Chain A
């Protein structure tokens, strides 16, 4: 196991390096002169020059690259053009907001998606199975932002049960937070729930076909032990790896969902940064998110290795 951990950690380092490189390169992709785009069409040549110097765009490529890494190593992700503040500072400030909603969505995903998938597998080809799989298919196919809008129309406009936007800090008002975040969390979780349900179902069906399940039944164990103990542990192992993908999709979805519900999180921050061409913020934001995901996937891989005795204890004979 230790070798596996070491190997995984070492493998992450070049990827992390490449991630920083990709983030840096995005700025270089901009066709034409980014300084003009940022300063605006009405800007005077002096203003454009000022922007150019501020962003270091007047330097040759290799100097920019070195400067980028020098800043990174100091923990400096640059300074937002439109907010005039440190990128890292702004992101960290908004982190609890996105994180709390992501957690809510994750609980929904695992709670509903996992259980639905298991249920569908146990009652294969029954009406429950068909229902769950249809719902899962819809979840995966419906655009989440459209679904969000439909939910808003139904629950906020027509029924008035939940607010159509805005955010309440959970530290101040837990109930308010719950009301404000439910629609966004549900919209975010739809895709993930569907995905998890489908994958859990197929994994469970695969596991139930295995010889060791037949052995467990031949031992006279009751069904709740055969499924709940023998099958379940084997299902969880591959399902854990899906959580990495789920996290990535949650982050992806948050851009649109946070924008629709006017939630001051990282997603909406990036969304507005894009529209306003705030390149340092875009760069820094993407780098931050990608790094977080890399770490998360690393943790997921390690949990997976820990759960599966074949990897944890290596090979015996």
Chain B
């Protein structure tokens, strides 16, 4: 068919060649990126292999072992119920990262969808952007707690709430890229050749918007982990006794004098995760495009 025959050479011109290897090499030379990868890698490993790393059940109560400090017997010590903090913090890693990942995936899907639609179809732009602006008018945590208050506590609701909160920001980034790419000559060429809007969007526009999106999603992962901790600190995340870093800190707050390690350790874990992700994001941004500006 004539259109098929034309499609192939056009695409060879229209889609810029993937430069995966030089970019990867530059990433691996970026010192801070590597530090971030290391930090996050440690947490990720703990989360993925949590079930192998934990020997004691995180919810097992053992009153005679209460308030044991970190040491050779209990790696991270125990809390007021004698529960192993090592088990709880490692298990918490699993949940925190899972929630962060969930938010990122939802952001990727809906943020890209909304941003692409808004950037590409001028008619939709105004409406969609006003709605996004309305959501962004609420401070992040407040909107998140508003939504979780309505939906009820729990991890899934936290994911939904945080996804709803951060998606407008992602959509904005995607929209900005789409607006720029849309004006490129090869898009016009594709349109002149009769490619449908869907094809243009999927094949030509979106692949060129990947860089800022990837950077943004990395930072969103970081913010989600942090925000989820705040939510569970306030009692809105996973229900106790399920351990999340936020609610471990909240519980440990009462015993901060006798057993400061309960509060300290999950905080360090959080810091390490968020720091690692921030460094990864910075590194990606430096390598992919140093002039990117990221939405908070």
Which A residues are within 8 Å of any B CB, using their own CB?
A: 11, 14-15, 18-19, 21-23, 26-27, 29-31, 137-138, 140-143, 145-146, 149-150, 152-153, 157, 195, 245, 248-249, 251-253, 255-256, 259-260, 270-271, 274-275, 277, 279, 282, 286, 289-291, 293-294, 297
A145 close to B233 (CB less than 8 A) = yes
In chain B, residues 234-257, which have Cβ atoms closer than 8 Å to a Cβ of chain A? 234-236, 249, 253, 256-257
On whether the beta carbons of B270 and A143 are closer than 8 Å, the reply is: yes
B134–A18 contact, CB under 8 A?
yes
Assess whether A141 is in contact with B230, with CB atoms less than 8 Å apart. Answer: no
Contacts of A27 in B (CB 8 A): 150
Q: Is the Cβ of A146 less than 8 Å from the Cβ of B134? A: no
Contact partners of A153 in chain B: CB under 8 A: 256, 260
Q: Would A270 and B145 be within 8 Å (CB), given that A22-B135, A141-B271, A153-B256 are in contact? A: yes
A143 touches B141 (CB 8 A): no
Distance in Å: Cβ of B109 to nearest Cβ of chain A: 21
A157-B258 Cα distance, complex, nearest whole Å: 12
Number of B interface residues in the complex (CB < 8 A): 44
B190 at the interface (CB under 8 A from A): no
Residues of chain A with a CB closer than 8 A to B266's CB: 146
Q: Is the CB of B278 within 8 A of A141?
A: yes
Interface Cβ pair total, 8 Å cutoff: 135
Q: Are A30 and B151 in contact (CB under 8 A)?
A: yes
* A141 x B143 contact (CB < 8 A): no
Can you name 7 extra interface pairs (CB under 8 A) apart from A142-B270, A253-B141, A294-B137?
A14-B130, A22-B138, A150-B267, A157-B256, A256-B141, A290-B139, A297-B137
B148 → chain A closest CB, angstroms: 8
Interchain CB contact under 8 A, B131 and A18: yes
Contact partner, A255, options B133, B145, B222, B249, Cβ 8 Å: B145
How far, in angstroms, from A270 to B137 measured CA to CA in the complex?
Answer: 17
By the criterion CB–CB under 8 Å, are A274 and B274 in contact? Answer: no
Q: Does B99 contact A (CB under 8 A)?
A: no
- Could you tell me if B230 and A31 are in contact, using CB atoms closer than 8 angstroms? no
A149-B256, A274-B234 given as contacts; is B143 within 8 A of A286 (CB)?
yes
Given A29-B147, A137-B279, A255-B145, also A15-B134 (CB < 8 A) = yes
Distance in Å from the Cβ of B273 to the closest Cβ of chain A?
Answer: 9
Contacts of B150 in A (CB 8 A): 26-27, 29-30
Within 8 Å of chain A (Cβ to Cβ): is B229?
yes
- Known pairs A26-B150, A29-B151, A275-B235; A145 contacts B139 (CB<8 A): no
A266 to B142, CA, bound (A): 11
* A293 and B137 contacting across the interface, CB-CB below 8 Å: yes
> In the complex, what distance in Å separates the CA atom of A290 from the CA atom of B141?
12
Q: Does B3 contact A (CB under 8 A)?
A: no
Q: Identify 13 residue pairs between A and B in the complex whose beta-carbon atoms are under 8 Å apart, listed by A's number.
A: A137-B275, A143-B270, A146-B263, A149-B249, A252-B140, A252-B141, A252-B142, A256-B230, A256-B233, A274-B148, A282-B146, A282-B149, A286-B143
Given known pairs A138-B275, A146-B270, A149-B249, the reply for A286 and B142 (CB within 8 Å) is yes
How distant is the Cα of A146 from the Cα of B264 in the complex, in angstroms? Answer: 8
Chain B residues, Cβ within 8 Å of A293:
137-139
Closest 8 CB pairs of A and B: A18-B134, A146-B267, A252-B141, A29-B150, A252-B139, A141-B275, A141-B274, A251-B139
* Interface membership of B38, Cβ < 8 A: no
Taking a contact as CB atoms under 8 Å apart, the answer to whether B142 and A255 are in contact is yes
Bound-complex Cα distance A202 to B287 (A)? 15
Q: Chain B contacts of A294 at CB under 8 A?
A: 137
Cβ contact within 8 Å between A145 and B249: yes
**How near does chain B come to A21, taking the closest CB pair, in angstroms?**
8
Given contacts A27-B150, A30-B151, A143-B267, contact A157 B257 (CB under 8 A): yes
Determine how close the nearest CB of chain A comes to the CB of B274; give it in whole angstroms: 4
Q: Within the complex, what minimum Cβ distance (angstroms) separates B87 from chain A?
A: 20
**B133 to A, closest residue via Cβ:** A15
Residues 117-165 of B contacting A (Cβ, < 8 Å): 130-131, 133-135, 137-143, 145-152
Cα A11 to Cα B274 with chains together (Å): 36
Also in contact, A31 and B152, with CB within 8 A (given A143-B229, A248-B139, A256-B233)? yes
CA distance A15 to B129 in the complex (A): 9
Nearest CB to that of A278 among chain B residues? Answer: B149
**A245–B146 CB distance below 8 A:** no
Within the complex, the shortest CB–CB distance from A53 to chain B, in Å, comes to 21
Q: Is B226 an interface residue (CB 8 A)?
A: yes
Q: Measured between alpha carbons, how far is A251 from B271 in the docked complex, in Å?
A: 22
With a CB–CB cut-off of 8 A, which chain A residues contact B133? Answer: 15, 18
Closest residue of chain A to B233, judged by CB? A145
| Chain B proximity of A68: nearest CB distance (Å) | 15
* Residue of B whose beta carbon sits closest to that of A296: B137
B residues within 8 A CB of A22? Answer: 134-135, 138
A290 to B256, CA, bound (A): 35
Question: When the two chains form their complex, are residues B149 and A277 in contact, meaning their CB atoms are under 8 A apart?
Answer: yes
On whether the beta carbons of A274 and B275 are closer than 8 Å, the reply is no
| Distance (whole angstroms) from the CB of B79 to the closest CB of chain A | 15
CB-based nearest A residue for B264:
A150
- Residue among B145, B264, B278 with the most chain A CB within 10 A? B145
Q: How far is the CB of B264 from chain A (nearest CB, A)?
A: 8
The residue that B137 contacts in the complex, of A19, A137, A255, A271, with Cβ under 8 A, is: A19
Which residues of the other chain, A, contact B278 by a CB distance below 8 angstroms?
A: 137, 140-141
B196 within 8 A of A: no
Report chain A residues within 8 Å CB of B260: 153
B264 contacts across to A, CB distance below 8 A: 150
A142 in complex: contacting residue of B140, B230, B235, B271, CB < 8 Å: B271
